[in-house]
Amino acid sequence: MMVESASETIRSAPSGQNGVGSLSGQADGSSGGATGTTASGTGREVTTGADSNGEMSPAELLHFQQQQVPVSVAMMSPQMLTPQQMQQILSPPQLQALLQQQQALMLQQLQEYYKKQQEQLHLQLLTQQQAGKPQPKEALGNKQLAFQQQLLQMQQLQQQHLLNLQRQGLVSLQPNQASGPLQTLPQDLPQLWKGEGAPGQPAEDSVKQEGLDLTGTAATATSFAAPPKVSPPLSHHTLPNGQPTVLTSRRDSSSHEETPGSHPLYGHGECKWPGCETLCEDLGQFIKHLNTEHALDDRSTAQCRVQMQVVQQLEIQLAKESERLQAMMAHLHMRPSEPKPFSQPVTVSAADSFPDGLVHPPTSAAAPVTPLRPPGLGSASLHGGGPARRRSSDKFCSPISSELAQNHEFYKNADVRPPFTYASLIRQAILETPDRQLTLNEIYNWFTRMFAYFRRNTATWKNAVRHNLSLHKCFVRVENVKGAVWTVDEREYQKRRPPKMTGSPTLVKNMISGLSYGALNASYQAALAESSFPLLNSPGMLNPGSASSLLPLSHDDVGAPVEPLPSNGSSSPPRLSPPQYSHQVQVKEEPAEAEEDRQPGPPLGAPNPSASGPPEDRDLEEELPGEELS
């Protein structure tokens, strides 16, 4: 299907401008790896990425990076950072937060604009009235009406966008959207202003009057950072439910992260103040301009107010959607949220990761609402690349199931390649079923159901799945009544993967490859739908003693991390030792029949009678203990 083309998108950005050494390398490593580098003949390379590859210009990107990436990160090599690298640095959740922030900012800028126009109209009215110009009152009234309608429309538009983005999930960029996801809104706006709303194009007129051009606004809207002047009022919003929003906290932090030598409102040689595209040769000039043209005055103040409103609106919207999501999840048998995940040890480890200089705390601070940091992945994967790899903290790496559980929504919606190996995913898929067995097709389905990436990238992964199934001994094919099904031989599985280092390079690599800018875009979208991650954080993780070992089936992957062994010093041979896990549940190359008999019955190992609940939970419980054992 068409999907195919879209598929490879991710790797499309082989860009990995080898700037950040290994990281970029890894970027194409897995997915692009062979193909990308050596192209192994196939020349498949697929650059497509029409959708995901936001096509953000390098300049924009740089701008983006400078403003959004935590200082330390940015300093690593600002000019070298590619979207991918950025994504390497930021965990999916972080990206989400980031994107959320950006969207909010953009919206707010738009609002400011509108406000501005409105003020102008008022002015116009006043002057005209004073001048005694008998301008037909009606006309003026119409104008104002038109503006109000536009405001309404705009608000609706915003909300719609939010919703759309939320629901689209998969949708990345429309081909014609020149740069980045954030263009979406701005692009719509001009229309709104010029076309739709006002009969007599009043909007456009007034816009021109001030020499402003909404199109320009659209362009400037890409300026992500919060205008300093504006940030104050935004800094401490809380959701109706009292939860601080990621949005705001991030914004706060970002305002402090300004890159020296740059200004959030200055980019591409022009003033990024909403609606102002004044060209400024250098920062100095810009500052001057800023102080003169955008000084603290009524207008600015008004803009701040508008921003506040926008933010509040967004927050309300967010809260609503979160609620809805929770309800949906609850309905779909996922536990209702309650952000407990943060009490997990993982959190600690996450914090631990900062020293690497790869991630910054601010984000984690925003935790409550959006568990931004997937315990395992968040940090683990981040490190994968560089020095971090070495970290001995195995606790870091959480089992795939937990990782998955926590980022379930994310992967489901974002076109991000999951940082797991095919083998671990397959295994996960199989273990998630009551019978612990799946047909190939069911496995496919699981993949597509769980990961947006696989929904879009149909092309090769199926082959890879089959390949993995056949290749790894841990996957046992069993002839079933209804055909052949695949099961997992835990013992083999454990054996199979001699503990690699903790960071799991490939995973990271995978993740990275999956994180092309397009992915980022997707993440952005996903971010919106993301507010209630916690839901997924299966409580199971917290269950310490729960049914632990019945089926220690797993420590999964995410790289090989979890290890049973006393994690202490050497991070080397982590999970190698299956022995400790007396598990080996089932299977094991046996005659299909035998297998069959066994499997269907009590779901193998019937891990925990009590802790019913979704398979995921089961798994989590199974795994965690393992980790803790160590």
Judged by CB under 7 A, the residue of 71, 80, 464, 592 near DNA is 464
Nearer to DNA, 38 or 292 (CB): 38
Tell me the closest approach of the beta carbon of residue 310 to DNA, in angstroms. 41
Instruction: Mark 122-161 with x for binding to DNA (rule: CB under 7 A) and - for no binding.
Output: ----------------------------------------
Tell me the closest approach of the beta carbon of residue 476 to DNA, in angstroms. 9
Judged by CB under 7 A, the residue of 72, 278, 309, 439 near DNA is 439
Tell me the closest approach of the beta carbon of residue 109 to DNA, in angstroms. 39
Contact 370, 246 (CB under 8 A): yes
Nearer to DNA, 122 or 467 (CB): 467
The piece of 233-241, 270-278, 502-510, 515-523 that touches DNA (CB under 7 A) is 502-510
Q: Which two structure tokens, joined as six digits, stand for 620?
A: 């989590």
Check residue 498 for interaction with DNA (CB under 7 A). yes
Distance of alpha carbon 98 from alpha carbon 96, whole angstroms: 5
In 17-136, where does DSSP find H-type helix?
Answer: 21-28, 58-68, 71-76, 83-89, 92-130
Tell me the closest approach of the beta carbon of residue 382 to DNA, in angstroms. 13
Tell me the closest approach of the beta carbon of residue 364 to DNA, in angstroms. 24
Amino acid at 554: S
In the range 406-425, which residues lie near DNA by CB under 7 A?
Answer: 420-424
Nearer to DNA, 5 or 101 (CB): 5
Tell me the closest approach of the beta carbon of residue 88 to DNA, in angstroms. 11
Instruction: Mark 369-388 with x for binding to DNA (rule: CB under 7 A) and - for no binding.
Output: ----------------x---
Phi, psi (5° rounding) for residue 338? 55, 95
Tell me the closest approach of the beta carbon of residue 436 to DNA, in angstroms. 16
Distance of alpha carbon 106 from alpha carbon 84, whole angstroms: 23
Tell me the closest approach of the beta carbon of residue 40 to DNA, in angstroms. 5
33 to 29, 37, 42, 383, 510: CA distances (angstroms)? 3, 6, 12, 19, 10
44 to 11, 402, 418: CA distances (angstroms)? 11, 34, 21
Check residue 471 for interaction with DNA (CB under 7 A). yes
Tell me the closest approach of the beta carbon of residue 192 to DNA, in angstroms. 41
* CA-angle at 617, arms to 616 and 618, nearest 5°: 90
Q: Please, which residues have CB within 8 angstroms of residue 111's CB and are 6 or more apart in sequence?
A: 154, 303, 306, 307, 309, 310
Check residue 444 for interaction with DNA (CB under 7 A). yes
Check residue 470 for interaction with DNA (CB under 7 A). yes
Nearer to DNA, 40 or 148 (CB): 40
In the range 17-46, which residues lie near DNA by CB under 7 A?
Answer: 22, 25-26, 28-31, 33-35, 37-38, 40-42, 44, 46
3-state SS record for 106-147: HHHHHHHHHHHHHHHHHHHHHHHHHCCCCCCHHHHHHHHHHH
> Could you tell me how many residues of this chain bind DNA (CB under 7 A)?
59
- Does an H or E element contain 471, and which? helix 458-471
Nearest one of 382, 455, 464 to 419, comparing CA atoms: 382
Instruction: Mark 572-611 with x for binding to DNA (rule: CB under 7 A) and - for no binding.
Output: x---------------------------------------
Return the SS3 of 483. Answer: strand
For 187-213, b/e burial (b = at least 16 CB within 10 A) is: bbbbebbeeebbeeebbbebbeeeebb
Check residue 501 for interaction with DNA (CB under 7 A). yes
Nearer to DNA, 167 or 466 (CB): 466
Tell me the closest approach of the beta carbon of residue 346 to DNA, in angstroms. 20
The piece of 186-194, 207-215, 436-444, 523-531 that touches DNA (CB under 7 A) is 436-444
Judged by CB under 7 A, the residue of 452, 560, 585, 620 near DNA is 560
Tell me the closest approach of the beta carbon of residue 28 to DNA, in angstroms. 7
Judged by CB under 7 A, the residue of 557, 616, 619, 621 near DNA is 557
The piece of 48-56, 167-175, 199-207, 504-512 that touches DNA (CB under 7 A) is 504-512
Distance of alpha carbon 91 from alpha carbon 482, whole angstroms: 41
In the range 196-225, which residues lie near DNA by CB under 7 A?
Answer: none
Q: Which two structure tokens, joined as six digits, stand for 603?
A: 């779901």
The piece of 113-121, 154-162, 482-490, 532-540 that touches DNA (CB under 7 A) is 482-490
Return the SS3 of 156. Answer: helix
Distance of alpha carbon 242 from alpha carbon 562, whole angstroms: 35
Q: Please, which residues have CB within 8 angstroms of residue 314's CB and are 6 or more apart in sequence?
A: 103, 104, 107, 158, 162, 247
Nearest one of 621, 530, 363, 370 to 379, comparing CA atoms: 363
> Per DSSP, what are the bridge partners of residue 475?
488
> How buried is residue 588: exposed, middle or buried, by Cβ count under 10 Å (0-12/13-18/19+)?
middle
506 to 8, 179, 381, 511, 521: CA distances (angstroms)? 17, 29, 9, 8, 23
Judged by CB under 7 A, the residue of 194, 299, 466, 473 near DNA is 466
Check residue 509 for interaction with DNA (CB under 7 A). yes
Check residue 506 for interaction with DNA (CB under 7 A). yes
> Per DSSP, what are the bridge partners of residue 499?
none
Judged by CB under 7 A, the residue of 137, 208, 236, 467 near DNA is 467
Contact 96, 523 (CB under 8 A): yes
Check residue 390 for interaction with DNA (CB under 7 A). yes
Nearer to DNA, 36 or 362 (CB): 36
Nearer to DNA, 427 or 583 (CB): 427
Distance of alpha carbon 284 from alpha carbon 227, whole angstroms: 17
Tell me the closest approach of the beta carbon of residue 571 to DNA, in angstroms. 8
Kindly list the residues in this chain that would bind DNA in the complex (CB under 7 A). Answer: 8, 22, 25-26, 28-31, 33-35, 37-38, 40-42, 44, 46, 385, 389-390, 420-424, 439-441, 444, 459-461, 463-464, 466-472, 477, 483-484, 486, 496-498, 500-501, 503, 505-506, 509-510, 557, 560, 572
